């Protein structure tokens, strides 16, 4: 399953950050609460305005956070939600898939 399959899916109701966290729950230090915690980080509300999907991926593997961010920017063009929507016009489901794929690569899963 791709992380984007739970993004805005009525059965799950996940925002971008939650979709990535849900798919990769086992990577977080607090797996039982991470999806709920990520609720506050979707829709451009993540730290420093980062894309929520990117933020969730970086939080899953803090030791690879810079590598994840660099690869995300390489693929999407920007790191912040505002820039992604205004300049690059990258749709949210694509951002979720990019973050999901990068996280899978970094963790070899």
pLDDT computed for residue 67 by the predictor: 97
Query: How remote is the C-alpha of 93 from its chain's centroid?
Result: 10
State which residues form the domain around 84.
3-107
Number of compact structural domains in the chain: 1
Contacts 24+ apart (CB under 8 A), 59-66: 59/21, 59/28, 60/20, 60/21, 60/24, 60/27, 60/28, 60/103, 60/107, 61/27, 61/103, 61/106, 61/107, 64/106
Q: CB-based contacts of 79: which residues, under 8 Å, 6+ apart?
A: 50, 51, 54, 69, 72, 73
Full pLDDT tens readout for the chain, 109 residues:
899 999 999 999 999 999 999 999 999 999 999 999 999 999 999 999 999 999 999 999 999 999 999 999 999 999 999 999 998 789 999 999 999 999 999 998 6
Angle at 103 between CA 71 and CA 21, to 5 degrees: 125
**What backbone torsions phi and psi does residue 7 show, to the nearest 5 degrees?**
-70, 120
**pTM given for the model:** 0.95
pLDDT computed for residue 84 by the predictor: 95
């Amino acid at each position: 399953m791709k992380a984007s399959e739970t993004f805005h899916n009525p059965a799950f109701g996940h925002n971008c950050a939650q979709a990535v966290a849900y798919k990769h729950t086992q990577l977080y230090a607090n797996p039982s609460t991470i999806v709920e915690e990520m609720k506050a980080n979707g829709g451009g509300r993540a730290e420093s305005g980062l894309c929520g999907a990117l933020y969730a991926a970086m939080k899953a593997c803090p030791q690879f956070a810079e590598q994840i961010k660099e690869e995300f920017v390489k693929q999407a063009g920007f790191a912040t939600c505002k820039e992604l929507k205004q300049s690059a016009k990258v749709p949210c489901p694509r951002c979720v898939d990019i973050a999901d794929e990068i996280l899978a690569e970094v963790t070899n899963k």
